[in-house]
Each structure stands twice: as C-alpha cells, then as structure tokens.
Amino acid sequence: MATEKCSEGQLFLIRSVELLKQYRTWLRKTLDLLPEDKVWWNPSENANSVGVLLKHLRGNLRQWVVSALGNVPFHRESKKSNI
C-alpha cells in the first residue's frame, strides 16, 4: 500500500506495526542474552521477574492491540506458562 494514499488512521496503524515488530526484535535479542534462570529470577518479593513482566506485556498487547484493533475476542490466561 502506498503510504501517500493512506489516511492518518492507516498511517498510524502502519507505523505502529513497524514499531511493534522492531520492539519485538529488540526484546528477543535482549532476552536471548539472559540465561533462563535469570529470566525467572525474582529480585525481591515486591518485584517481578523479567519473565513475569514479559507475560504481562504479552497479555496487554493481546488485550489492547489484537483484541481491540483486530476485533478478536480476548480471553485472559492466568495459568503459569513460559513466555
């Protein structure tokens, strides 16, 4: 799609997808540098591990981006699983 013929809303969505893909690449590269035990390491009982924070981020992206913008039903998964 030629961006010069896009509405502001379409341009916003195109740029948002580009940014989300870039952030995903950066997160994956960073996560690959961490040993798995460090991903789930909890620095204190008042803090979350990197893994838990990533699970929250994934849930928020599914709820607010995929579900809301993609018009896909959202079902919260609260069971403990790998990222």
Distances (CA, A) of 65 to 51, 68, 70: 20, 5, 7
User: What distances in angstroms separate CA 80 from CA 11, 38, 83, one per listed residue?
Assistant: 37, 17, 9
**Domain encompassing residue 62:** 41-83
Pair 78, 45 in one domain: yes
Q: Are residues 22 and 46 in the same domain?
A: no
Assess whether 80 and 51 both reside in one domain. Answer: yes
**Interval 39-49: pLDDT, tens:** 999 999 999 99
Q: pTM of this prediction?
A: 0.66
Considering only residues 22 and 79, tell me which one the structure prediction assigns the higher pLDDT: 22
At 32, list the tokens.
């690959």
* Statement to judge: residues 48 and 77 lie in one domain: yes
Same domain, 54 and 79: yes
Are 54 and 73 within one domain?
yes
